[in-house]
Amino acid sequence: MAAMSDDSIETEDLSFALEGRLTASNIGPIWAEAAQTLERNPDRRVVVDASRLDYVDNTGIALLFDLKRRRRPKGAEIEIQGLAPNLATLVPDEDPEDLTGAAPQAPFVGVFEQIGRATEQQITYTQRMLAFLGNCGAAFLLATRRRGVVRWSETLSVATEAGANAVPIVLLIGFLMGVIIAFEIGLVARQFGAVIFVVDGVGVAMLRELGPLMTAIVFAGRTGAAFAAQIGTQKVNEEINAILTFGLDPIHFLVLPRLLAAVLVVPLLTVFADVVGLFGGALVLVSFDIGFVQFYNHLLGAVGMNDLLVGLLKAAVFGFAIAAIGCERGLSTGAGATSVGLSATSAVVTSIVWVVVLDGLFTVLLSG
């Protein structure tokens, strides 16, 4: 059993010895006695003789470290002598001032350096995304040439989940968009006696812009995140590695069905959003003395098939972009369950940004 003996009570230096075994079973009284001795002699130098220690466990190392790190006045330091080399390496030799000092601060990163790093990351991501889109395009071309490449059962299953189950929320959003646009424009147009031209605004806005745009945003939040989470979970569970082991291409096996489903489903959802949006606008204009028949007749002259086709083309491109981004984020998922959530979040944010960017490009290029 370890013991602590005071060898020099009357001398200028206070010295005591630790001997035997320092373990969790006997460390309590020894630690308490050492602390009391140090408190009674705050101004005396302390020498701890550890040469007769036979065995020290983690609690003993903690006692030695506590003695070594205690802050005492100058000339009243604590010195541990005779500690075996194999034990001395376990007791850190830091200065107490270093232990209590402030933590080192991270190096300052300037604004331009932050911009440069962000730009580099974006360029790297763009290159990876372009390579992925190239592989997807090659898969599309191969699907048109060979039968059996496309897993149609999986495609229909994904289309049902992403399309049919999303109809209620798309109808709600489309209806509210039509109501809001008609009401806001109608309040302004009534001041100039031009309420009938609200029909033009509602028709063009729903068919060319808000119909495909709001449908794509809903699709990105609901289905794009699901694609990233599904494939990301498969990546974490090493199912992607199993697919590669069997000689299958993840692009054909997992990505292609989702791309085809998105390209087919988003235009159909856009049609639903357009119809209910126009119906919502017609309901609002009834309060502005514009009947359903008058609304319908004026709408036929305000918009044409070209407006509908532009909106459907946008919807197809939006669907392809959302599915591609979701699948790419899923395939890039790291290790751990947390990475799946990060991939899903990144897929939603990136998809919405690119949908808005593509919508702006379409508006400029197809404004005629």
Mean pLDDT score across all residues of the chain = 82
Which segment of 38-52, 126-140, 181-195, 267-281 scores lowest on mean pLDDT?
Answer: 38-52
Sorted by where each starts, the structural domains of the chain and their CATH numbers stand as: 3-100 (3.30.750.24), 148-365 (no CATH)
- Read off the pLDDT of residues 64-94 as tens digits, 9 standing for 90 and up: 777 777 766 777 777 777 777 777 766 666 5
pLDDT at 312: 93
Q: Note whether 330 and 236 are within 8 A (CB).
A: no
- Read off the pLDDT of residues 268-314 as tens digits, 9 standing for 90 and up: 999 999 999 999 999 998 888 888 898 889 888 888 888 899 999 99
Phi, psi for 19 (deg, rounded to 5):
-140, 160
pLDDT at 137: 79
**337-365 vs 305-331: helix axis angle to the nearest 10?**
150
What is the distance between the alpha carbons of residues 259 and 321, in angstroms, rounded to a whole number?
A: 9
Q: Which of 55, 59, 49 is nearest to 27 (CA)?
A: 59
Q: Which residue has the higher pLDDT, 330 or 85?
A: 330
Residue 99 banded pLDDT, cuts 50, 70, 90: very low
The token pair at 93 is 């030799």
Q: In a 3-state reduction of DSSP, which class is residue 6?
A: strand
Which residues, in sequence order, are CB contacts of 37 under 8 Å at separation 6+?
6, 14, 16
What is the distance between the alpha carbons of residues 278 and 272, in angstroms, rounded to a whole number?
A: 10
Residue 96 banded pLDDT, cuts 50, 70, 90: very low
Amino acid residing at 125: Y
- Read off the pLDDT of residues 5-25 as tens digits, 9 standing for 90 and up: 555 444 467 777 777 777 777
Residue 103 banded pLDDT, cuts 50, 70, 90: low
Q: Note whether 199 and 302 are within 8 A (CB).
A: yes
pLDDT at 218: 93
pLDDT at 1: 41
- How far are the Cα atoms of 45, 228, 331 from residue 238, in angstroms, in the given order? 62, 15, 11
Amino acid residing at 128: R
pLDDT at 53: 78
pLDDT at 220: 92
What is the distance between the alpha carbons of residues 284 and 199, in angstroms, rounded to a whole number?
A: 11
Q: Which residues pair with 49 in a beta bridge?
A: 17, 81
What is the distance between the alpha carbons of residues 177 and 188, in angstroms, rounded to a whole number?
A: 17
Q: In a 3-state reduction of DSSP, which class is residue 262?
A: helix
Which segment of 56-70, 168-182, 186-200, 255-269 scores lowest on mean pLDDT?
Answer: 56-70
